[in-house]
Amino acid sequence: MVLQNIEGVEGEPQVPCLFIFGDSLSDNGNNHLLRTSAKANYFPYGIDFPDSRPTGRFTNGLTSIDFITQFLGFDQLIPPFANTIADISRGVNYASGAAGIRNETGKHLGSDISLRLQLTNHRTTVSQISAGFNKSSEKVEQLLNKCLYYVNIGANDFLNNYFLPQYYSTSATLPLNMEGYVFDLACNPKWENLYDIGGRKFVLVGVGYIGSTPRALTTLKTNSSTDDINKAAFLFNANLRSQVDHFNKALPNASFIFINSTASKIDPSLGFKVLDSGCCQVGENGQCVANVRPCDNRKDFVFYDSFHPTQAANLITALSSYNASIPAYTYPMDISHLVRS
């Protein structure tokens, strides 16, 4: 599948391969075969995808990382890990809807692929790449040193864990207050493991305004509740930025950057007219009802369903991440500079 053209992007990709870790903001089909309600393999998801079909993406078209993939010069989207027959030479997408940093996150919806399992799946991929290089560890390491590792996960550890006490006991039984819980989340992933097998260029994406999603606004009855959720996002992002500083100092030749998803809000100044409700008709789980046509003015909406941005909003996010049109959005550099470093 050939992607839409982006002005100024042509020739060979800026990195040889791209590895994607995350949740439903990046999932492109890994949840298809799982026993879960967190899947988007039905219409109206994908209505604006290049060939107008549902692919497992929780939006009407392309995700933020799809756009970034294109900005990087790839002529095809990165395949999901679940597609075992795909060419993995340009990278793999491991993201899973409802997944979190904590293993139990999202499990009330069914199965998902937690970050820990995604990291395990990446080791499988590296083994397959190694076999293609006749098990030459030096050649594999040289390749992985140049690849980009993109990680966008953490929102579900709040929305589908900590702030759902009816399903999860983390807010009541863990010996942690919110600050401790957030610190544990930000420090939990063992990025040293990816570094040890060759990763050098990392993009860590912070949590956005999760208290301002249509779902949060309709299910939480007081402003203080939505403010508490957004406060958790701010705390998580501050800790994640600190982790970026730590790894850039502690790991030789490593380059970590942080995308501050709360640095700005997508609002009417960017051409959006509907900020607090989704474009499609949603069911009890906040996802689009199957086979019901969504709104026609999709470019006016920030959200497609009760959780996930529209393709139009995803494009804004991708542009800010790649080109740092908002300086506070990326630290200490944007993706375009990271891949050249």
278, HSE (Cβ side, Cα atoms, 13 Å): 28
In contact, 313 and 272? CB cutoff 8 Å: yes
Q: Any idea which residue has 């999860």 for tokens?
A: 168
User: Residue 61: CB partners within 8 Å, gap ≥ 6?
Assistant: 46, 47, 48, 49, 50, 310, 311, 314
Half-sphere exposure at residue 202, Cβ-oriented, CA atoms within 13 angstroms: 29
* Per annotation, catalytic residue among 24, 96, 255, 320: 24
Determine whether 26 is an active site residue: no
Among residues 64, 66, 212, 308, the one annotated as catalytic is 308
| Residue position matching structure tokens 């391969």 | 17
Asked if the 18-338 domain carries CATH number 3.40.50, the reply is yes
* pLDDT of 6: 43
Structure tokens of 246?
Answer: 């730590």
Respond yes or no: is residue 27 known to be catalytic.
Answer: no
Q: Would you kindly state where each structural domain of the chain is located, as residue ranges?
A: 18-338
Helices and strands, counts by H and E, the chain: 11, 8
CA distance 58 to 313: 13
**Tens place of pLDDT for every residue, the chain, 341 residues?**
334 444 444 568 999 999 999 999 999 999 999 999 999 999 999 999 998 999 999 999 999 999 999 999 999 999 999 987 788 989 999 999 999 999 999 999 999 999 999 999 999 999 999 988 776 788 899 999 999 999 999 999 999 999 999 999 898 876 678 888 999 999 888 888 899 999 999 999 999 999 999 999 888 655 557 888 999 999 999 999 999 999 999 999 999 999 999 998 888 899 999 999 999 999 999 999 999 999 999 999 999 999 999 999 999 999 999 998 677 999 999 999 999 98
Which of 157, 305, 306, 321 is flagged as catalytic? 305
DSSP state, 77? P
Task: Give the global pTM.
Answer: 0.94
Q: 216 with 159: CB under 8 angstroms? A: yes
pLDDT score for 190: 81
Active site residue 246: no
